Chain A
Amino acid sequence: MTTTHKNSNNALVKLVDINKIFFTDEVETQALNAINLSIDKGEYLSISGPSGCGKSTLLSLLGLLDTSSNGQYNLAGHDVSDLSRDERARIRNKEIGFIFQSFNLISDLSVEDNVALPLTYRSDLSRKDVDTLVKASLEKVDMAHRANHFPSQLSGGQQQRVAIARAIAGSPSIILADEPTGNLDSKNAQIVMNILDTLHRDGVTICMVTHDPSSAARASRMIEVFDGKIVADKLTNNESAIAV
C-alpha cells in the first residue's frame, strides 16, 4: 500500500483491522480485508477504486449502516464496534450525515420535511429549533425557495442539494457521500461539488466515494481501494482542500 498520509492521534474516525465477509448462498466473499484507516477532523477524503472493490462497503461501515465481521471502529472518541442497533441509530443521527448517489429523498414528504427528518428523531430539539435549522440548511444549498415542493417536482441536481441540506442540518461530525454526482449531469455535478467544497472550508469533515477523478481531486486526501484493501493513501495537491 502506498501512503503518504500521517496517522493522527486526534482522529475523528479510526478503523483498526476491519474485515467484512459476506455469506451469500454458501459463498463467502471478503469485501474488506484488514482495513486500517484514520480520518482527522476537518479532513476531506475521497475513496476510489474499481467496481466491486469494497469502497461502498467501507462507506457503509463508516456510516454504521453495516457491521464489520471483526475489528475495531472508533468514532469521535467512542468505540462503536459493538453497539446495539438503537445506539448505532442514535450515533448515525447525531454524528453522521449521508449523501447518496440516488438522493434517497422520501417522495411523500416535502423538501422541508425531508430535511427535517433526521432532526425529528431527536428528543432535544423543539419544533422551532428544527424549523430554524432546516431553513438555515436549505439556504446553504440555495433551496429555501423550494421548501414546500416535493422531490418529484425537482431536478436531479436540486434533489441532491436537498439531500446535502438534510445531511448537514444536524451539524454532524462527518458527512459520508456515496457517489454524490453519479446521477448528475456535469453542470449539476459541479454545483454539488462546489457545495461540498464550501462545507469543507467551513470545517465539515467529508468522506466521499467517487469514480470521478476530477471529483476525487477536490479532496485533500485520496484513498484507493482494491480487492477490499487500501492500496494507496495520499494527500492531494489541492490547495483549496486544506485540513483544518
Chain B
Amino acid sequence: MSFWIDIKYAARLLLKKPIFSLTSILIVAVGLGLTVYTYSLLNNLVFKPLVLNGDTPIYAIEAEYDHNHLSRRPADPFDLNRIKRDIDVVDDIGFSQDGTALFQDIEGKSGTVKFNASYVSWNIFEFSSTQPMLGRGFNVEDQQKGAEPVVVLSFEVWRDYFDRNEQVVDTLLTVEGEKMRVIGVMPQGYAFPSVAQTWLLLPPNFIDPVERSRTSVFGFMKLKAGVDFSTFEQELARITPLIIQDIPEDFEWRVSDNGNFLRALPYKEAAITQYYSIFIAMFIVVFLILLLACINIGNLLLARVNERIKEVAIRVALGIPRARLVWQMLWESIFLCTIGGFFALLLAGWGLDITNDIFTQAYAVNDQKPFWWELSLDANAIIVLIMTIVAMILITGLIPAWRALTGDFNAILRDGTRGALGKKAARATKALVISEILLSCVVLVIATILLYTSYSAAHADYGVETDNRITARLELPILAYPMNRADPEEQQRESGFKRSKFYYQLKEKMEALPNIEGVAFMSEFPGTGGGTSFFEIEGRAAQAYNENPFSNNEMVSQDSWRVVGMLIVSGRDFDYRDVEAGMLSIIVNESIANEFFPDGDAVGKRVRRVSSRGEGDWNTIIGVVSDTFHGSAMRSSSASYNSYHVFDAFAPTRINVAVHYSGRQALAEQALTQTIIEIDSSVAAFHVQTYDALIYQPMMLVTAVSKIFLLCGVVAVFLAASGIYAMAANGVTQRTQEIGVRRALGATDSMVMRLFMKQAMIQLTLGLLLGLGMSLWVIDLMTDTMVMNEISYYIGFIAVPALIIVMVVVATYIPTRRVVLMEPSNALHHD
C-alpha cells in the first residue's frame, strides 16, 4: 500500500514538470540506446563466440598478423597439423583458403560468373555441424588424389543462379576451366568460414603435407569440451619455440619480424583485427556517454531534491524509515530510466537496422561481408539493457537519496540551512562538475578527430583522376593460365607472358572503341592497396635492413599512367626493353626521387628490396611518375613512397583494370564485358564500379563508425552543455545564501563573480587536463591501424577545449549573475 502511494507520488511529481521529465527521458534513452546498440554491434562482430550449430566456440589459428600491411597471414598446414597432433586439448582443425571460383555457362547462359569460393578441407561441414539441405557434403574420399572434382553450392547461389532447381545436384559444371560435379546445396545463410558462396576442396597435399612448403592456409579450430582457451594458449606458447627451432633457413620467412609465429584467437576477432582498436575506442566512448547521461540525470534529480529538501525534512520529522525515504527518491529514477530504457530499445533496434543497411551497401560490390555480420537485438542485448537500467537507476537515484539521508533536517526545519552549502555536498558537486567536463572532453575530442580524419580521407587527393573511370577485377582461370612458382624461371616467364598477352589484347581491343580513352592494369590502383617493404639505395645501405626507407610496390602494365591521370615526370615509361630477360626496371614516384635524389638524378640509379630474409635483385630506375597515395589516407599501412614494376613477364592471374571512358558508364561496362568474352569467355570481370567507389569502399566501414562517433559527439555536446549548465546552476543555487552572506559583508558584484568564475576555472582546468590525457590514451589505441589527420588533432585538442571553456564560462556566469543581481536580503533568506 505504501509503495503504491510512493509510486503515485513520484509519477505526479514527474507529470508536474513535463519538460524536466521529457528531457531526462531523452537523455536516458540516448545514453542507454547507444550502449545497447554498441553492445549488440560489438557482440555480434567480435565478442560473441562463433558457435554455429554446436556448443563449442570456433577459433582461428593462423600465422602472426602482418601489421605492416594490416592483413592476416595464412600458415603452413604442416605446422597446423603439428598443433593438432601435439596439443592434446585440440578437438579438430580444418583448413581453408578464401578465393574466387569462375563458373562458366551456368544454365546454358554464356559468360563467366565469379563467386566467392572457399577452398577447404573435407571436414568443414562436420566441423561446423551443418549438413547440406540437398545432396551431401564432402567426405574424406573426395579429397584423395585422383578423386572426381566436386563442388558444393550456397543456398543463395542455388536460388539466384539455378532457380532453386533440385536437379542441379549431381550435374557437372565448368568451374575454373574444369568439370566439377555439384554434390550438395547448403542451407540458407550458411557461408562458413566467412563469405563463401561455393565450396571446393583444397588439393590433398595441402591437407596432410609430409614436409614444409610454401603452401599456406587459414585454420579453424575447436577445443575439446570444457577446455578453456587460456589452456590452449599456454600449450601453444610452450610448443611454439620447439616448432621455430625446427624451421629450416628457407622457411624462416614464416616467422614474423617480431619473432612471433602462430596466433590463435576467437574466430570473429580474427576477421576484424584491423578494426579491433577502433571498436574498442567506440566502446569506451559510448561507455563515457552513458556515464555522462547518468551524471546529468543524477544532477537533475539532485537539484529537485534540493528544491524539495524541506518536504523531505518534514517526512523525516514525521518518522519515515530510512529505507522508505531512499525508495521514495528512487521511484523517480525508476520511472525515468524504465521509460527511457523502452525508447532506448527502439533507438538501438533502429540503429542496428541502419547499420545492417550500411554493411550491405559497403559490401554490395565485392560480397565480402562475413556471414555473422547480421545485427539484431538478442536476449543478451536485452539482459544488458536491463542491467544498465538497474545500474542507471542506482547511480541516478542514489545521488539524491544520499542528499536526502545526509541533510541536517533540524536546521532545515527551523529556518533554512546553516549558512551555505555543506562541505560534503560542495565536494560532491565539484567532483560531478569535473567528471562532466572530463567525460565531455574525451567524447568530443575523439569524435572530432575521427570525423575530421574520415572526412579528409574521403576527400583526399590521391594523385589520380577518377572522373569517367571504372575499375574491375579480372581473374584468369588457373587451368588455362597456369601459374606455378615452383616452375623454372623460364617457364614462369612464358606463362607470365601468356597472361599478360590476354591483358594487352583486352587493352588493344578496347582502346580501338570510340568511347574508350584508355585501359590500364595495376595490382592495386592509387587510393587502394598499401602496405610497405624496405628498400635499399645502392651505395647508401643502412646498417640494419629496417633502417632503410620503405615504399609500397605495385605491378603495372605499360602505358598505364595516362589512364589514371598520372604523369611521367622524368625518364620514360616501361616498354619492350624492360621485359627482356635479366632486365629489372623500376619506376618510382616523385617523393622518392625528390627525397633521395634531390639533384634530379634518380633515373639510372639502382634500388633493391631488403627484409629480414635477405636482399632482392637490384632494379634500375628508368622513370619517375607523379605522386600518388596507395591505400586509404586513414590507414597506417598506406604509403606516399611508391614504386612500380612492369608485369609483363610475371603477370598475375588476378589484376585490377581501369577504363577511362567518354559518354555513358553503362556502355563502358558493357564494352569491358563484351570484349572479355570475345577474347576469352573463361575470364571473369567482377567488382565493376567507378574508381571513386573503389577508393571509398574500404573506408565505408570506418566512415560508418565515424558517423556513429558523430552521433556520439552530438549527444555529448547536448549532454555536456545541458549537464555542465545544470551542474553549475545547481551549484550556484545551492550557494545562494553564501552569496547573500558575502554581499552582506561587503563583497561587490564583481568580487562575487570573480570568486565563482575562478572556482569554475579550477574545476575546468582539472577536468580538461584529465580529459585531454584520457583522449590521448584512447587515440593512441587507435593509431595502431589508423592514421589520424594532423589538422584533426589541432581541431580536436584546441577547438573542443575552447568549446568546453565557453560552455563552462557561460554556465557559470549566467546563474551566478542571476543570483548576484538579487537583493542581498533575498539571497540571505533563500532556501
Contacts and interface: CB of A to CB of B under 8 A. Distances in A.
Nearest to B737: A104
Given A108-B426, A152-B423, A67 B823 contact: yes
A108 B422 CA distance: 8
Nearest to A85: B749
Interface string A104-135: 11111000000001100110000000000000
Interface string B400-442: 0000000000010011111111110010000000000000000
Which of B421, B741, B744, B826 has the most chain A CB atoms closer than 10 A to its own CB?
Answer: B744
B745 interface: yes
Interface residues of B, number: 31
B749 A151 contact: no
Given A65-B824, A65-B825, A107 B748 contact: no
Interface string B375-411: 0000000000000000000000000000000000001
A228 to B, nearest CB: 16
User: Residue among A103, A108, A183 with the most chain B CB within 10 A?
Assistant: A108
A104 B422 contact: no
A108 B418 contact: no
Interface string B743-780: 11111111100000000000000000000000000000
- Kindly name the residue among A63, A90, A102, A118 whose own CB sees the greatest number of chain B CB atoms within 10 A: A102
Interface in A42-95: 57, 60, 63, 65-67, 85-86, 89-90, 92-94
Contacts of A66: 823-826
Interface in A191-240: none
Contacts of B416: 102
B411 A92 contact: no
Contacts of A85: 748-749
Contacts of A106: 419-420, 738, 741-742
A92 B745 contact: yes
B747 A89 contact: yes
Contact of B419 (A93, A98, A151): A151
Nearest to B415: A102
A188 interface: no
A182 B740 CA distance: 20
Contacts of B421: 107-108
Interface string A142-185: 00000000111000000000000010000000000000001100
A117 B745 contact: yes
A107 B422 contact: yes
Contact of A90 (B738, B744, B746, B824): B746
A152 B743 CA distance: 22
B506 interface: no
A145 B743 CA distance: 28
Contacts of A89: 743, 746-749, 751
Contacts of A100: 741, 828
Interface of B is mostly: helix
A93 B423 contact: no
A103 B420 contact: no
Given A65-B824, A66-B823, A92 B422 contact: no
A107 B420 contact: yes
Contact of A65 (B418, B420, B742, B823): B823
A215 to B, nearest CB: 17
A36 interface: no
Given A89-B743, A151-B418, A102 B411 contact: yes
A33 interface: no
Contacts of B426: 107-108
A108 B749 CA distance: 20
Nearest to B741: A104
A183 B415 contact: yes
B746 A121 contact: yes
A101 interface: yes
Interface residues of A, number: 33
* A contact patch SS: loop
A65 B744 contact: yes
B425 to A, nearest CB: 9
A143 B452 CA distance: 62
Most buried by B among A105, A106, A118, A166: A106
A121 B751 contact: yes
B422 to A, nearest CB: 6
A102 B416 CA distance: 8
A103 B419 CA distance: 7
B413 to A, nearest CB: 12
A118 B745 contact: yes
Interface string B639-657: 0000000000000000000
Contact of B420 (A67, A108, A121): A108
Contacts of A65: 740, 743-744, 823-825, 828
A63 B744 contact: yes
Interface in B336-387: none
B585 to A, nearest CB: 79
Interface string B135-155: 000000000000000000000
Contact of A103 (B418, B423, B749): B418
Interface string B816-829: 00000001111010
A183 B740 CA distance: 20
Nearest to A182: B415
A161 B738 CA distance: 18
A117 B414 CA distance: 26
A108 B747 CA distance: 17
A92 B745 CA distance: 6
B689 to A, nearest CB: 66
Contacts of A98: 744-745
A150 B423 contact: yes
Contacts of A118: 745-746
- The winner among B416, B418, B738 for most chain A CB atoms within 10 A is B418
Contact of B828 (A104, A107, A182, A183): A104
A173 to B, nearest CB: 13
Contacts of A122: 746
B748 A86 contact: yes
A152 B746 contact: no
B821 to A, nearest CB: 9
A73 to B, nearest CB: 15
Contact of B748 (A57, A63, A90, A151): A90
Given A106-B741, A107-B420, A183 B746 contact: no
A89 to B, nearest CB: 5
User: Which of B415, B419, B746 has the most C-beta atoms of chain A within 10 angstroms of its own C-beta?
Assistant: B746
Contacts of B417: 102
B419 A102 contact: yes
Contacts of A60: 824-825
Contacts of B744: 63, 65, 92, 98, 104
A58 B418 CA distance: 23
Contacts of B743: 65, 89, 92
13 contacts: A60-B824, A60-B825, A65-B744, A66-B826, A85-B749, A89-B749, A89-B751, A90-B748, A102-B414, A102-B415, A102-B416, A121-B751, A151-B419
Interface of A: 57, 60, 63, 65-67, 85-86, 89-90, 92-94, 98, 100-108, 117-118, 121-122, 150-152, 166, 182-183
Q: Which 3 A-B pairs have the closest CB atoms?
A: A93-B746, A60-B825, A65-B825
Given A104-B419, A182-B415, 19 more contacts: A60-B825, A65-B740, A65-B743, A65-B825, A67-B823, A85-B749, A86-B748, A89-B749, A89-B751, A90-B746, A92-B743, A98-B744, A98-B745, A100-B741, A100-B828, A104-B737, A105-B418, A108-B423, A121-B746
